[in-house]
A and B are shown apart, each in its own frame.
Chain A
């Protein structure tokens, strides 16, 4: 189990790094997908098969497809000049400070709190479902409302008014 964990973790870290450093947008996204898949393997061996499956279906399967879809439509090439223009050294200051703060907290937590070894209780889909609709019902409802708002917003944006009555009538008006 441990070796699988280390292999999956290593793949996740390397592919995440490659996703950041790669210049080709699609290749970077592919590395990101690989990273998500290896994280789902980690979920599985930690005893959470349901979230492993959801990771693949939702993140790797649906969201990343949309990412690739958009990148394909935009036809992003290798535009380094613009990037070089935008990424001045000054831009790095604020993110670096924030990341440093997170790193300090992370080290502090690791040092102060003693975790017990994770017991690999397998949490099946059924337990997840029961928890979602009892203990975490409020969170589920809130996210459902948020998604509903998203759907309505998407519908509104996508709705098109009929602008042209008929191509001849429209042309006459232009003349």
Chain B
């Protein structure tokens, strides 16, 4: 009997507690910087696409929502001819971001992606590509990569030795 009265009293005291409800559309919730939301494709500091169309993201994607086609531009640089993410399948696991060797694909703190038409959930490259560098500023894949793509010469990198002359036995 007493415990019943006590539980009624404690329930009453809850009237003066802090509300747990988030007033979402009016008050936007705080999202941490590493929140895994909408997927974007970033550019490097020179304004070129970071993506080299290596297909690792599409391979690692557990729900197969990423589709892309590799192509080479006139300098021989690889880039995705199309890059398509079906967000109605995406589970926002972030594996693609982990797999990406060039930090091109990134998940950003934005989840407001509701659509009335399901077809609008399929994002093409022009929807995905942003003009900035995303989370990793100043990073350019070709600064650390071995190939010369007009960013730096072969063997000119910071922790990079000069290329081995295959026709010479003496180093």
Is there a contact between chains A and B in the complex with CB atoms less than 8 Å apart?
no
User: Could you tell me which B residues sit within 8 Å of A by CB distance?
Assistant: none
User: Could you tell me which A residues sit within 8 Å of B by CB distance?
Assistant: none
